[in-house]
């Protein structure tokens, strides 16, 4: 049976308990502030005007996302592949969702809100780096803050060493990209790519 209404969903899942509802906050507080300060990784979710969705990983040293106040975040953006999917979606809808993760911690912090792309010098100045300065900044006006429980990451065993695969089980990124459109160009090995990235990201 295709589920088409919230009422049908509720028949299967029931209602959330009051404690879960109380976890939905409209601003950061001490624990979510600390979470963002310690997080080296965030996934950005966005959607364009036609409803097509996108998720984009972003990483940096812990605290690379800056907190302006309990209602405002700044997410730096350095140069990447220039597809600019997240940026274009933000221009079209002005909305963003963020999932913050901390290695070794199974809880996840969700932050949703309104977003805009800024190049103000005082914002960019917060992300000064001699080799990798921010080209723009995504400013997030927070509307929802929510701590997810640990069950999903515990099920995945995400931080457990035994869950890690041998990278040789997959072809290199270059080979996979070659195979997907059926093109054949020179392919660097996984080790060569990792070394190139290390040099690119080094201080």
Residue 175 carries which DSSP code?
Answer: H
pLDDT in tens, 3-57: 999 999 899 999 988 887 788 999 999 999 999 999 999 999 999 999 999 999 9
Across 155-169, b (16+ Cβ under 10 Å) vs e yields eeeeeeeeeeeeeee
Please tell me the distance from the alpha carbon of residue 150 to that of residue 39, in angstroms, as a whole number: 16
pLDDT tens-digit profile of 137-166? 999 999 999 999 999 999 999 999 989 898
183 with 86, same domain: the answer is no
| Enclosing domain of residue 190 | 165-201
Asked if 152 and 170 sit in the same domain, the reply is no
Query: Could you say which DSSP state residue 25 is in?
Result: B
- Per-residue confidence (pLDDT) for residue 183, from 0 to 100: 67
Decide if 126 contacts 53 (C-beta within 8 A): no
**Domain match, 104 and 193 both:** no
Q: Looking at the structure, tell me whether residues 95 and 173 fall in a common domain.
A: no
Looking at the structure of the chain, the number of domains it has is 2
Which one is predicted more confidently, 202 or 73? 73
Angle at 113 between CA 44 and CA 72, to 5 degrees: 95
């Amino acid at each position: 049976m295709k589920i088409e209404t919230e009422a049908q969903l509720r028949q299967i899942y029931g209602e959330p308990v009051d404690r879960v509802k109380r976890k939905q906050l409209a601003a950061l507080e001490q624990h979510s502030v600390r979470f963002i300060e310690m997080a080296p990784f965030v996934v950005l979710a966005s959607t364009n005007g036609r409803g097509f969705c996108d998720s984009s990983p972003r990483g940096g040293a812990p605290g690379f996302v800056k907190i302006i106040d309990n209602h405002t975040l700044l997410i730096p953006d350095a140069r990447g592949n220039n597809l600019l999917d997240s940026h274009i979606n933000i221009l079209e809808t002005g909305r963003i969702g963020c999932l913050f993760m901390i290695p070794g911690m199974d809880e996840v912090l969700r932050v949703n809100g309104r977003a805009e792309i800024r190049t103000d010098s005082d914002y960019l100045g917060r992300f000064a780096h001699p080799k990798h300065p921010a080209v723009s900044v995504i400013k997030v006006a927070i509307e929802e803050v929510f701590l997810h429980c640990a069950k999903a990451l515990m099920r995945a065993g995400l931080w457990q060493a035994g869950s890690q695969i041998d990278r040789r089980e997959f072809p290199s990124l270059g080979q996979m990209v070659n195979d997907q459109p059926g093109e054949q160009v020179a392919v660097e090995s996984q080790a060569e790519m990792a070394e190139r990235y290390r040099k690119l990201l080094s201080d």
